Amino acid sequence: MAEEYRLLYVAMTRAKRLLWMSAAQKAPFTWSKPENLQTSAPCPVFTALKRQFSR
């Protein structure tokens, strides 16, 4: 899993103009169902990016 996070971090930090991200844990995804809302901790890559770009 660490390698996937590393690749995600590299891809996100190399975006030059615009970065679109989207994900769904199951298909078809329905926003109106509460069980589709994420209840787990966010990806650690986002914390690292926040630290990097909040300076």
pLDDT at residue 15 in the model? 85
With 0.85 as the threshold, say if the pTM is over it. no
Instruction: Point out the residues of the chain with pLDDT beneath 50.
Output: none
Long-range contacts of 6-10 (CB under 8 A, 24+ apart): 8/43, 8/45, 9/45, 9/48, 9/49
User: What pLDDT sits at residue 39?
Assistant: 62
Q: Give Cα 43 to chain centroid, integer Å.
A: 6
pLDDT of residue 46: 77
Q: Catalogue the E-assigned strands of 1-55.
A: none
pLDDT at 51: 80
Return the pLDDT at 44.
79
